[in-house]
Amino acid sequence: MKYYPRPESGLDIHDVNLAVEAAFREHGMGNVQMPPKVYISFPNGDFRTMPAYIPALQLAGIKCVNVHPANPEKGLPTVMALTTILDIETGLPLAILNATGLTDLRTGAAGAIATRYLAGKRSVTVGLVGTGRQAAAQLEAISREIDVVGVRAWSRKDVSAKKFAERFSRFDCRTGTLPFVCDCDVIVTTTPSRTPILMDEWVHEGTHINAIGADAPGKEELDPEILKRAMVIVDDPVQAIHSGEINVPIREGRFSPEEIAGTLGDVVLGRKKRRDNEEITIFDSTGLAIQDLAIASVAMKNGNYLELEFP
Amino acid sequence: MKYYPRPESGLDIHDVNLAVEAAFREHGMGNVQMPPKVYISFPNGDFRTMPAYIPALQLAGIKCVNVHPANPEKGLPTVMALTTILDIETGLPLAILNATGLTDLRTGAAGAIATRYLAGKRSVTVGLVGTGRQAAAQLEAISREIDVVGVRAWSRKDVSAKKFAERFSRFDCRTGTLPFVCDCDVIVTTTPSRTPILMDEWVHEGTHINAIGADAPGKEELDPEILKRAMVIVDDPVQAIHSGEINVPIREGRFSPEEIAGTLGDVVLGRKKRRDNEEITIFDSTGLAIQDLAIASVAMKNGNYLELEFP
């Protein structure tokens, strides 16, 4: 059994994107086992277990991941994760991976795949609402799939946006107000907001939105009016209804599960596509166990591991 | 983060029994989070994920365990397991334990606790139906809790029973027919049987039975008539109805969930006890995630670990 302490280092982002795309293709064909995430609640956080099996890719395993919002004060990441990959023939654990960094990248990959298929153009400007680790992961992953010709960034803290813009100056990254940032071909929202911060009137026709931030009941970034104008694609209907961008609008009766246009798997399979240049498209990402398996399979080719005695 | 490759070595069985008893006490009080096991099916096996949290013991984590019946032909155990223990305050994984050996011991511990509370006597003869690893674990654990003054063993293969008897000669262990083995104060069944092998007429009044073997739908070791004469205690009602000794009789309408007398937690709390010396008592064990947490907490005091880089 191998242990990978830093499996994200040196990963080729395009390889990751392709592996995650392959996993969504299997998901779209209904060829995966992926039971709903199981939650355990702690006084100041939680942990989730995410098992899955993708027969066609000969991949099975489980990610365990916590969310403890006060961790940064203690010098620890809010989210930490371990992925265990099993041999399908024998059930033997083949590898345990520190999936803390991988979790960022596999979420970025889903956003990049959605953008490649759903953005109306091959060459885009990207508006980032939120400039944390996930914003960086999205931008890196998207720019490996299509041409990014300009970036606009907004953060609740101006200094964070400025730092981000410096780091990504190679994309001609500028900071500004939310309406300024929304005037882009692709918008990526990655905040922990619990009230809409992206207003309907700022989003012009033809925009593609990766709605990444909402990943728990009660979280919401988009004015629900945007959903009504858009084709809404989810990663997984059960998870999206439970904890994705659409969870609050559904609970409030402002959106209904029947209005979901399809899954990212449907998009990858060509069953769902943007109707015309005017349509707004939204990808509602909650994060799937199959993404974790996909990125683990790429990372395990990396070579940087310790051999552990087992069984 | 620590990795324990051989956490079962040098463990004090009595300490394990006490830790497992404490976990069942919390379970009986309704003070644990333990979602149902999640199953993933492979072509020739499966894997199960078992998360849990015991607030009073400050213990949280998850066991992942496979069952691949053809593994012995490949030189691997049928069942292999990993337990991950998390820090409750931060969600940081504190330790990963090879739980392959621990799984045997924690099941033995539950049987020992049940026997200590439910057997009518402090000094007993033990009849073992099945003489594999779990039979040994049960005998070792029981003998740490009450006086074992004689053992009778039966196996489908006579040679296995004889080998077992040699290994446990310190208990004056004898082999014989099933009726001979059932003529004991405590009977422990640990076979993978799918049809009853323990007949009603062989079980005399006052016997305590640990029914361990049935741990999946379709498995069954006891003549359902025995259930009708007995006080039936389960580890967890949901799991027992799904996959314990009572699963087949319930499906066939020969036993009903309402006939379950209580849980091992109820027994530990003194809410349920043997009525008199004549009553037959049955402990239906399926194996709970809280047992895995309990034994991990003991094993982590063991000291024999590797330090792994995380996060």
> What residue has token string 């020739």?
B44
Of residues A255, A256, A246, the one with CA closest to residue A220: A246
| Contacting residues of B for A6, CB less than 8 Å apart | 309
Residues of A identified as active-site:
63
Fold of A2-103+290-307: ornithine cyclodeaminase, domain 1 (3.30.1780)
The DSSP 8-state label assigned to residue B222 in this structure reads: B
Q: Do the chains contact at A45 and B91, CB–CB below 8 Å?
A: yes
- Residues of B known to be catalytic: 63
> Residue for token digits 């009137």?
A201
Mean pLDDT (chain A, rounded): 97
At B168 the three-state DSSP class reads coil
Q: What is the pLDDT of residues B241-275, one digit of tens each?
A: 999 999 999 999 999 999 999 999 999 999 999 99
At A162-192, the pLDDT tens digits run 999 999 999 999 999 999 999 999 999 999 9
Q: Which of B38, B74, B78, B306 to mutate to test the interface with A (most CBs of A within 10 A)?
A: B38
Residue in B76, B88, B306 closest to A42 by CB: B88
Q: Is residue B3 classed as helix, strand or coil in its secondary structure?
A: strand
Enter the pTM of the model. Answer: 0.94
Selecting from A38, A77, A88 the residue whose C-beta is nearest the C-beta of B38 gives: A38
Q: Closest Cα of chain B to A308: distance in Å?
A: 8
User: In CATH terms, is domain B107-288 a member of 3.40.50.720?
Assistant: yes
Give A-chain residues touching B100 at CB under 8 angstroms: 310-311
The beta-carbon neighbor of A47 closest among B64, B80, B91 is B91
Q: Do A90 and B67 touch (CB under 8 A)?
A: no
Categorize the per-residue pLDDT at B302 as very low, low, confident or very high, splitting at 50, 70 and 90. Answer: confident
Do the Cβ atoms of A91 and B306 come within 8 Å?
Answer: no
What CA–CA distance (Å, rounded) separates B59 from A170? 47
* Chain B residues whose beta carbon lies within 8 Å of the beta carbon of residue A76: 90, 92, 311
Q: What is the full DSSP assignment across B225-254?
A: HHHHHEEEEES-HHHHHHHSTTHHHHHTTS
Which stretches of chain A drop beneath a pLDDT of 70? none
Yes or no: say if B156 and B175 are a contact pair by the CB < 8 Å rule: no
Out of B62, B68, B100, whose CB is closest to A311? B100
pLDDT of residue A302: 75
Residues of chain B contacting A88 with CB distance shorter than 8 Å: 42-43
> Would you call B52 and A40 a contact, using CB atoms and an 8 Å cutoff?
yes
Residues from chain B that touch A45, judged by Cβ atoms under 8 A, are 90-91
pLDDT recorded at residue B223 = 97
CATH code for the domain defined by A111-288: 3.40.50.720
Give residue B96's Cα distance to chain centre.
22
ipTM of this complex prediction, to 2 decimal places: 0.93
Contact A90 B96 (CB under 8 A): no
Tell me the domain boundaries of chain A.
Answer: 2-103+290-307, 111-288
